[in-house]
Structures are given as C-alpha cells and as structure tokens.
Amino acid sequence: MEIKVISGDITEIQADAIIVNLFEGVEQPGGATGAVDEALDGAIAYLIKKGEIKGKFREISIIHTLGKLKTDKVAIAGLGKREDFTVDKIRDVSAEVCRKLRQLNCKRIATIVHGAGIGGIEPEASAQAIVEGSLLGLYNFRRHITKKPEEGDIEEMLIVERDEIKLRSLEKGCYRGKVIAEATNLARDMTNEAANYMTPENMAQVAQKLATEYGLEVTVLEREEMENMGMRALLGVALGSRQPPKLIVLSYRGDETSKNSLGFLGKGITFDSGGISLKSAEGLEEMKGDMAGGAVVMAALAAIAQLKPKINAMAVVPATENLPGGNAFKPGDILKAMSGKTIEVVSTDAEGRLILADALCYAKKQGLTPLVDVATLTGACRVALGDVCAGVFGNNQELIDKIIKVSSKAGECLWQMPMFEEYKEQIKSEVADIKNVGSKYGGAITGALFLAEFVEDTPWVHIDIAGTARSDKEKGYTVKGATGFGVRTLVNLALTLAKNKED
C-alpha cells in the first residue's frame, strides 16, 4: 500500500472512502468529522442521536454519500472514551477500519489524523500510529495459497492535513511507521513460513538479502567455525538434524566514533520437535515458529538500518533444528559451552537456552553491551502471563525499566519477572556446572537464570515471547498467526539510546 501525506480538506478528497472519527459520548461532531457531517446534511449527527453511532472503541460505521461528496463512502471510526485514548488505540482502530474498507473493495482511501486535536496526541505520533496500525492490520500470509483472494488490496492511503506547517512532521511519522510496520511484517513472514522453507540456511539467506538491501554487514558462521570457537552447546542441539546449523550475525554501524555496540540476540530454532524428549503431536505444527526471536532481531536490524540512528547495533541468531535421530543429543549428555561452562542435559526440549548460551558467549566476546535476547523460551512463561504480555528478566534494573518504557510506547506489553537467587537451586547439577532444566515450577525464571550464567556482569535483558509470538485470533492490529512481537520494542530502544546519547 502506498502512503502519502497531502494538504487539503477531507471533504474535497476523491477516493473510494474517507475516514473520520468520533469519541464516545460526543453528541455533535466537530472538526473534520463535523465538516463531513455538514456535507452529508447532518447524517452523522442524526445517526448519533438515533444511537446507531456511539463512538465506542473499534466501532466502525459506514455511510454511503450518495453523491454528496467526492467519495463513495465515509467510515466513522470509534475512538472510545477521550480520557482513555492512547497512541496504541490509534493503531488498533486504524487496523480495524482498513480491514473493513478492504472488505468493501476500496482501493484508494483517505484519513484525517486521529486524536491530534482534542485527543491531545502529537500529530507526528498519530501519523506513525495510523501507518503502523494500517499496515499491521492488513497483513496476511498467502505465499502458499494458490486460490485468488476474495478481497483485493487497498492500494493507496492518503493522510490529509489542512495545516501545511504540520506536513513535514506528519511525513516523518509516516516514514517511521512504515519502516517499523514493514519490519514487523517481515518477522511475521519469516515466523509464519513452513519449516521446510525456513531452514537455518534460509534464515541465513534472508540475512544476506537484508544486508544487501540496507547496507548491513553480515557474517554467517558454519559448523567448522563454531567447532573451532567451542560452541558445543549449539552444535549439540544440531546433532539430530540433517540441516547444517548457522550462527547469523547482522551488524549496523551508525556511529563511527564509538566502539560500543548494542547487542540483540534471537533464538533461531527453525523447527522444535523436542528432540529425544519428544513433544506431543498436538500443536506440533506451530513449532515452525520457534525461531520467532531470531526473526525479530533480524527484522529490527533492518528497520534500524533504514531509520539510521547514531548508534551501533548487532543481531546474533543461532539457528538450527531440534530433531530426534540416531546422532541426536540425549538426556543425560553433558555439553560444554563456548565459555567452558559444562551443562547437564536433563531435557532436550529445553534447547533454546543451550543455543543462546553460546550466542551470549559470542556476543560478550564481540564486546557487545548492553545485551537483549528475545526468545520463545518457555511454555511456563505462557502459562504465567498468557498471550497479553511477554516476560522480561534481567540483571540491570535501569535497562529493564528503559525497555519496559519503550515497549509501552511501541504498544508491546512487558511484565517484569523475578530473578531471586533461591531459584538457582533448581538448576544446580551434581555432574556438571549447571543443568538445563529445573523443576516444573517457575520454569520461566529458571530458564532466565540459566541464560544469566553466560552473561555474567554485562548489562542484559531477556524477553520471553513464548505467549506473545503467535495469536489465535484477529484483534486490532494483531492478526492470526505470527505477531512479530518485539520488533517495535527493539527499534524503539535503539532510537531512544541514540537520542539520549546525542542529548
């Protein structure tokens, strides 16, 4: 969808549909909605009076103009109560109204800037949210569907503003929103892809493509190089698969004056059967998405490279399949990580922390700081927090607070989980330095504490997206399937750290 910011009057726009809005409880529409109402001889006010338009959040009402305007249809988007209005609600309602207009076969649509008047939202932030919500809400994954879709695509969206002074800031917001939304949709594409099309090699090919398109540096370590570096934990997980493992590294340099680099790490298990500790068959097809964290950090680097903040950043993705086989690693095996620390394998289905252990060691060796890893690490986190928010753990409260703040701005909910020393008792081993699984209680916490063993004093945050990486229903800008959760948080973090450094 092409997106443009134009100067003009929404009542004069020629399009298949125009979008205005209404807060709940408003009896007489004002502003642009009032102007459209006047052109329609009071039709909107009449329907409000009759109770057919209430302005409730996500309520979408369609009025046919019958030639009274240059557009065929007017969509009135309900914004909910004014006191509850947020930027994230702009994302949500933009997604809902765009999907509705796609159903009505609209190709060219135009919208006013939601909430920039009495809603109290900065116009630039509103424009960014409109674009993000629209592109995220219209997303679908049809690569392997041969049947032609019943609904066509919306081809063009115009964001209309009467005040020409605001156009530049709206364009900046639109560009940022488009870059971030497209990066999120890239992560969704990668995570939705079938495991036979998204192997470790395919992930490496995506990284190569991103590097070429956006001027990133890329390095892909092969099995022999990982052997030489002592990455026996990652390579142990890979033993059961015929697909060769990869350690994918994408780098962005936005500050040549600094040697410091922000490190993003993402779990890249392209299919997780559980290995010898085999999972049950129910829902096993969803395990193609166990590389969601890897997709998120790669997509975030692509967005950062386009937005060009004055900061250096690197994404590290250990990628492999976890399959059973005659050569597969087994419960009871002992693996040695790159740091030299030995690990007793209690369950081969706790493989994500094993590959991330070596990735964290690699990131530390590269001097990356702070470190943020994103992983579909534990079912326990999904049990604890459901699909509403992801769990966040870490060893640096200032960094945790910063990430929670930027995630809230991005519309991605994080909840801090404890890291008490007492939980470490569960992962003590009698035959190795550490074991990869504790008891069935507090599994998300012991998983995070396992990772912490390989971070030591480096500022670090772990984000467990097991519950948020996938959605079973469509709601607002969240669609069924992969969500791309985490991309917007990581991009916002890089932008914020760069801005703070400049300030």
* Residues classed as catalytic: 279, 353
**Cα 159 to Cα 20: distance, rounded to the nearest angstrom:** 11
**Cα 3 to Cα 37: distance, rounded to the nearest angstrom:** 25
Write the CB contacts of 147 (distance below 8 Å, at least 6 apart in sequence).
none
**Cα 154 to Cα 183: distance, rounded to the nearest angstrom:** 19
Calculate the dihedral angle through the C-alpha atoms of 121, 122, 126, 132, rounding to the nearest 10 degrees: -120
**Tokens coding 83:** 């006191």
Write the CB contacts of 268 (distance below 8 Å, at least 6 apart in sequence).
200, 203, 246, 248, 291, 293, 294, 317, 318, 319, 320, 355
The phi, psi pair for 269, rounded to 5°, reads -80, 105
**Cα 52 to Cα 22: distance, rounded to the nearest angstrom:** 13
**Cα 265 to Cα 411: distance, rounded to the nearest angstrom:** 21
**Cα 69 to Cα 10: distance, rounded to the nearest angstrom:** 10
**Residue 275 DSSP SS3:** coil
Give pairs for 220-224: CB < 8 Å, separation 24+. Answer: 220/246, 220/247, 220/248, 220/249, 221/246, 221/247, 221/249, 222/246
The phi, psi pair for 232, rounded to 5°, reads -75, -20
**Tokens coding 457:** 């004093």
Q: What's the one-letter identity of residue 480?
A: K
Is the Cβ–Cβ distance between 125 and 180 less than 8 Å? no
**Cα 57 to Cα 66: distance, rounded to the nearest angstrom:** 27
Terminal CA-to-CA distance of the chain, rounded, Å?
Answer: 35
